[in-house]
Structure 1
Amino acid sequence: MQEKVNCQFEQIGIIKTPYQDNAPYQPIDTDEGEFCIMINPQYVDGLNELKKFHYIYVIYYAHLTNRKIKMMVQPPWTGGKKVGVFASRSPVRPNSIGLSIVRIKNIIKNKIYTSGLDVFDGTPLLDIKPYIKDLDNKSDANYGWIKEMDDMEHLSLHIKGIPHDY
């Protein structure tokens, strides 16, 4: 067993979204409203050349997560199936770190305008990384345990964050 290391992160900005009380489970590319990542002034030079990419990873601190951490979770769209937290996209995790992939619409000074983000307004930003086509697109990726669920078509709507009638 390795020695425990004290980890600390520096907030590099803030995420602005229209979501105050309720946010989608996944980013929705066509979601309406203004989605903006505001970078703190000392990190603005780090945005140089980022505009040449179409997508970015947004890494954030899910600061409003206040439920008790469990190692077994029931994703809301699975009809009660339990899976390990590390086999899920649950925001309730040992470390409340979130990850979203969004489209860059524009970058003006310290503001990155994006497609829909699945976070609450005021979420602390931890990092940004470019999404690189051949590096980040894994052609043999699969659905894992999700493929075993009934009504895969309906579940894929939840997975993709597409609004629909139940």
Structure 2
Amino acid sequence: MISLEAIGVIHTPYSTNAPYQPVHNDTGEFYIELDERYEEGLKELLRFKYIYVIFYIDKLQEKPKMRFTPPWLANKELGLFATRTPCRPNPIGLSIVKLINVIDNRLYVSGLDVFDSTPLLDIKPYIKELDDKSDANYGWLNDLDNREHFMLHIKGIPHDY
């Protein structure tokens, strides 16, 4: 049996609709309220420019499907693990955000792609040498005729169709 406990709460302006990925320059207030028991663990974190935010996707209603077609990709069936859909066997989310400030047990960050009051599971520093993979590729996205347009969708960037 695996047991996880929230160590804080993520606050965003989203109550019914959130972007698919973090939008760096999104408007609104984005902050993480860490349980005071863990405040000491924030020492030196502000020296990092970016952090990983690991959270529990608690407002999901759908059951995961091992194969599905994304709504904006007609006729392209994909395996669940070849996608970044939030609908997963274990609804755990991961986002990289810019750390703007730390005041007491609050971390002010750039735009996060979660609903307000999402349970926080963990925070880790993003370390350039360890986390930046220069040889990363686009996998099945390379097969798309309109990859640039699709990327706008998955980044949640408004655009003309």
Normalised by the length of structure 2, the TM-score is 0.96
- For residue 26 of structure 2, the aligned residue among 28, 31, 44 is 31
**Pairwise CA distance, 1:163:** 2.1
CA distance in 2: counterparts of 1:81 and 1:87, whole angstroms: 12
Residue equivalent to 1:64 = 59
Q: Secondary structure at the match of 1:51?
A: helix
- Once the two structures are superposed, residues 98-154 of structure 1 have per-residue CA deviations (whole angstroms, 9 ceiling, x without a partner) of 000000011100000000000000000000000000100000000100110121121
2:146 equivalent to 1:155: no
What letter corresponds to residue 90 of structure 2 in structure 1? N
What letter corresponds to residue 50 of structure 2 in structure 1? Y
- Once the two structures are superposed, residues 44-98 of structure 1 have per-residue CA deviations (whole angstroms, 9 ceiling, x without a partner) of 1111100000000000000011102210122233224111111100111000000
Of all paired residues, the percent bearing the same amino acid is 60
**Pairwise CA distance, 1:161:** 3.0
Residue equivalent to 2:124 = 129
2:76 equivalent to 1:109: no
Contact 2:19 2:155 in 1 (8 A): no
Contact 1:75 1:88 in 2 (8 A): no
Q: Secondary structure at the match of 1:156?
A: helix
- For residue 45 of structure 2, the aligned residue among 45, 50, 53 is 50
CA distance in 2: counterparts of 1:72 and 1:120, whole angstroms: 25
Contact 2:23 2:155 in 1 (8 A): yes
- Return 126-135 or 155-164, whichever deviates more: 155-164
- Once the two structures are superposed, residues 28-50 of structure 1 have per-residue CA deviations (whole angstroms, 9 ceiling, x without a partner) of 00000000000001011111100
Q: Secondary structure at the match of 2:133?
A: coil
2:93 equivalent to 1:98: yes
Runs of 4+ in 1 over 3 A off after TM superposition: none
What letter corresponds to residue 15 of structure 1 in structure 2? I
Contact 1:78 1:149 in 2 (8 A): no
RMSD: 1.0
Gaps of 5+ in 1: 1-5
Normalised by the length of structure 1, the TM-score is 0.93
- Return 143-152 or 10-19, whichever deviates more: 143-152
Residue equivalent to 1:3 = none
Gaps of 5+ in 2: none
What letter corresponds to residue 16 of structure 1 in structure 2? H
